[in-house]
Amino acid sequence: MKSEMRLIKNAIEYVPINEVSDISKGTRGIYVLYKRRGFKNDQAHHFDVVYVGMARQSIKSRLDSHQKTKSGLWSHFSAFEVWDNITDIEIAELEGLFRQVYRYDSNANKLNVQKSYEPLNIVTNREWL
């Protein structure tokens, strides 16, 4: 089924870390790493965001790398593939928006080195509220 969204072509959410290999090589877009909290067999579970990232070339490669460098810090991921006509600058802007949203979240900031997205800070204007 063709996505009706302008930016996002495909999405998968809350996928266990051991299924990273199912991601196609060359998939570009934004991804989120989570740490699952709660009981495994209980319906009441939560996923804390621990990292938001972008992949200009391959989400799979980035997740493979994070399995090595951030081992044990995340258990699940979501991936949002962008359309082919979305530029690298637009991907960076999407990632920056997510980083900005999570910049003061204590869980997300454990792994995110870049705390905010400077271009968004420049356009932030409280006068219109």
**How sure is the predictor about 49, in pLDDT bands with cuts at 50, 70 and 90?**
confident
Q: What is the pLDDT of residues 80-114, one digit of tens each?
A: 999 999 999 999 989 888 888 877 777 665 665 55
* pLDDT at residue 39 is higher than 90: no
99 is a domain residue: yes
Number of domains in the chain: 1
**How sure is the predictor about 19, in pLDDT bands with cuts at 50, 70 and 90?**
very high
**How sure is the predictor about 119, in pLDDT bands with cuts at 50, 70 and 90?**
low
120 is a domain residue: yes
8: its two tokens: 């996002």
Q: What Å distances lie between residue 39 and 36, 43, 118, CA to CA?
A: 9, 8, 38
pTM check: above 0.75: yes
**How sure is the predictor about 65, in pLDDT bands with cuts at 50, 70 and 90?**
very high
CB 64 within 8 A of CB 22: no
The whole domain housing 116 covers 8-128
Nearest to 30 by CA among 49, 47, 55: 55
Rounded to the nearest 5 percent, the helix, strand and coil shares of the chain are: 35, 30, 40
3 is a domain residue: no
62 is a domain residue: yes
2 is a domain residue: no
57 is a domain residue: yes
- Return mean pLDDT, the chain: 82
Q: What is d(CA 105, CA 9) in angstroms, rounded to the nearest whole number?
A: 28
DSSP for 45-81, please give it.
Answer: EEEEEEEEEEESS-HHHHHHHHHHHTTTS-SEEEEEE
100 is a domain residue: yes
1 is a domain residue: no
